[in-house]
Amino acid sequence: MLAVCLLSSHAFAAESGPKGDWLVGNKQARIRIVDCAGTLWGVISWEATPGFDSNNPDPAKRTRSMLGVSIVLGMKPAGRNKWAGSIYNSAWGKIFSGGVSLEKADTLRITGCLLGLLCGGENWSHATEPASGKTLALADEDICKSVTAEH
């Protein structure tokens, strides 16, 4: 029975990929992962406490709302249930090389590295409950248009 459960969970991961809403490790934000022509992008779709991109290196972006900001940037397939690209860390205002891997159907591992030396990561959980408060009201196609125009 356990083997059947493991196989079905693994099959789900491979079948659906990481698309959807993910709750970050500290549960203070959700990231919506979308597939834009084979490349994964993730934008902030909800925040427990709305904030601004105040650490962005571009002064013109420091007053923008974090809702809709790209966090997972241009991830391309890098193996079974793995994608590689870049991660925007808004707390530092920096873009890091990174990746995501679908560990289980409900767990997405996100990792990032600074200069290839200092690496870290956290697990995100698949968001199953509706978010309370203001959420990003964009369809996946509109998110793809937004991120490709910006990057």
Question: Following DSSP, what letter does each residue of the chain receive, concatenated?
Answer: -HHHHHHHHHHHHHHHTT-EEEE-TTSSEEEEEEEETTEEEEEEEEESS--B-TT-SSGGGTTSBSTT-EEEEEEEE-STTEEEEEEEETTTTEEEEEEEEEEETTEEEEEEEETTTEEEEEEEEE--SPPPS-B----HHHHHHHHHHH-
Q: What is the pLDDT of residues 43-52, one digit of tens each?
A: 999 999 999 9
* Number of domains composing the chain: 1
Q: What is the CATH number of the domain that holds 140?
A: 2.40.128.520
Q: What is the pLDDT of residues 88-117, one digit of tens each?
A: 999 999 999 999 999 999 999 999 988 777
Domain that holds residue 29: 2-150
Residue 5 pLDDT > 60: no
pTM listed for this prediction: 0.85
